[in-house]
Amino acid sequence: MDDGEGLVTVVVVSRNRKSELLQTLGRHPAPVILIDNGSTDGTADAVERVHPAVRVVRLGSNHGATARNLGVALATTPYVAFADDDSWWEPGALDTAARILDKQPEVGLLAARILLGPENRPDPVCDLMAHSPLRPEPDGYAKPILGFVACAAVVRRDAFLVSQGYDPVVFFGGEEERLALDLAAGGWELCYEPDLVVHHHPSPSRGKAGDRDVLIIRNRLLTATMRRPWPVVLRQALRASRCGTAGVRAVLTAVPRLPAALAVRRPIPADLEHRLTLLETWQSAGAFQR
């Protein structure tokens, strides 16, 4: 038995992607918790029949990204890895993650290297994490990050719960940003670890790209409202309004959610804001665009 075996629960959230899910679930090491996010295609029944070892939790409606919070709450292991219905972890990766987290108690989250499609193409987001201007502290573990991709992250369960996980304000799309900021504000290190590998074969039923663009812009603005200084919020709103139809739609759809965002507004510490601004300036200079 590897040192890390049995220390990581894999939490998968899925909605109406039965065919993809049945192909990927068997690739996850136990224990596995599936949160069925209000599927109407018989996903839960099929999983219980084909993968009886998987714990299936049926939600009556779509809870968005917050469905992952339930999976983490139900987990009994110290670490939790997230996966989507179209992704899975390289064999042995979660054992490695558990060993790292055991030895590095200051690390709250590890982000993995992502390989896309059957060609195993590197996900460009990994370039951002590997080459960003952020530098580790003298006694830090590895390359620090201030963002991650949910399906390629292993979290320390206690850190996740204290940071209150994903929130219903953004619901889905770019939901990792606020959680990353809250983990960092809580003193946890977030690190990119390229030795951990995730395979991601994006589902063809991911929805229209234009609609996703609206969600990402909207949720970036809502996250800024919850955690960033007001001048930053204003700049993001102006920038969004100049991004054509998608930007205008994003601002308009953000308005009904503003009261909820304001109710949980808690600006991040100045030193964290400085690091985030440094990263955003680097990105806007053309070093990376997701």
Q: Are residues 23 and 137 in the same domain?
A: yes
Q: Are residues 243 and 111 in the same domain?
A: no
Q: Are residues 37 and 125 in the same domain?
A: yes
Domain assignment of residue 139, yes or no: yes
Transcribe the chain into DSSP letters. Answer: --TTTTSEEEEEEESS-HHHHHHHGGGSPSPEEEEEES-SSSHHHHHHHH-TTSEEEEESS--GGGHHHHHHHH--SSEEEEEETTEEEPTTHHHHHHHHHHH-TTEEEEEEEEEETTTTEEPTHHHHHHH-S----TT--SEE-S---GGGEEEEHHHHHHTT-S-TTT-SSSTHHHHHHHHHHTT-EEEEEEEEEEEE---TTS--HHHHHHHHHHHHHHHHHHHS-HHHHHHHHHHHHTSHHHHHHHHHHHGGGHHHHHHT--PPPHHHHHHHHHHHHHIIIII---
Domain count across the chain: 2
Rounded to 5 degrees, what angle do the CA atoms 160, 162, 163 make? 65
Q: Are residues 27 and 120 in the same domain?
A: yes
Cα separation of 111 and 102, whole Å?
16
Q: Are residues 162 and 46 in the same domain?
A: yes
Domain assignment of residue 104, yes or no: yes
Q: Is 142 left (phi over 0), alpha (psi -120 to 50) or beta?
A: beta
Domain assignment of residue 286, yes or no: no
**CATH number of the domain bearing residue 13:** 3.90.550.10
Q: Are residues 74 and 106 in the same domain?
A: yes
Given 200, 230, 258, the domain boundary residue is 200
Q: Are residues 96 and 240 in the same domain?
A: no
Domain assignment of residue 178, yes or no: yes
Tokens describing residue 281: 């300036």
Q: Are residues 93 and 158 in the same domain?
A: yes
- Domain residues for the domain of 162 are 8-200
Q: How confident is the model at residue 208, as a pLDDT? A: 67
Q: Are residues 26 and 164 in the same domain?
A: yes
Tokens describing residue 232: 């930053």
Largest CA distance in the chain: 56
Q: Are residues 231 and 181 in the same domain?
A: no
Domain assignment of residue 2, yes or no: no
Q: Are residues 46 and 168 in the same domain?
A: yes
Q: Are residues 191 and 214 in the same domain?
A: no
Mean pLDDT by 10 residues, the chain (290 residues): 72 96 96 98 97 98 97 98 98 98 97 98 95 90 95 98 96 97 98 98 77 94 98 96 93 97 98 97 68
Domain assignment of residue 148, yes or no: yes
Given 182, 200, 218, the domain boundary residue is 200
Given 183, 200, 217, the domain boundary residue is 200
Domain assignment of residue 3, yes or no: no
Domain assignment of residue 67, yes or no: yes
